[in-house]
Amino acid sequence: MDHTDQAPRHPFRWWLATVALLGFGIAGCAPQGPAPETVLEDYLEFVYQGKIVEAQALCTPAGKQHLEALRGVIFSSESSPDTNQIEIISLVCEVEADTAFCTTRIDDGYAKINGQYALLRTDEGWQVDQRPLDGQVRRRMERAEEE
């Protein structure tokens, strides 16, 4: 029996399967959640406004502990949280594997402040981590500041 004159069976099905596989492949390579710069920007805004609970939601467990320790300083009787908007003059992150090393320069209305942060990529996305900086991390951040 000669099948050369018959139309191919379900050509649309093959086309749809190919498009679906390509779509899943591209989606699998897409970044998950906001970029580390966006997470750090939100974190800084929350911290400077005294919104510790909101800031902690963007942190690793170590970052949450760090903010809890700072809560007494931020809400001391002599000072109150600054509810003014901060200006982020620069925010640069260098990503290596699952860690983003970020440097910031912020104008809080009183002074210009340089900051250094490490963010970790977790199942929940990028999170601010407050682990102690070892020499290697500090050198990376100093290099990023020089650029």
Average pLDDT, the chain: 77
pLDDT of 36 reads: 97
Q: Confidence class of residue 19 from pLDDT cuts 50, 70 and 90?
A: very low
pLDDT (tens digit per residue) in 61-114? 999 998 888 877 766 656 555 556 789 999 999 999 999 999 999 998 889 999
Topology of domain 34-146, CATH: Nuclear Transport Factor 2; Chain: A, (3.10.450)
Q: Is the pTM of this model over 0.85?
A: no
Sign of CA dihedral 100, 103, 105, 108: positive
Q: In which element (H, E) is residue 128 found?
A: strand 125-129
Instruction: Tally the residues of the chain.
Output: 147
Query: What is the four-CA torsion angle of 133, 65, 98, 57, rounded to 10 degrees?
Result: -140
Residue among 45, 46, 48 at smallest CA distance from 56: 46
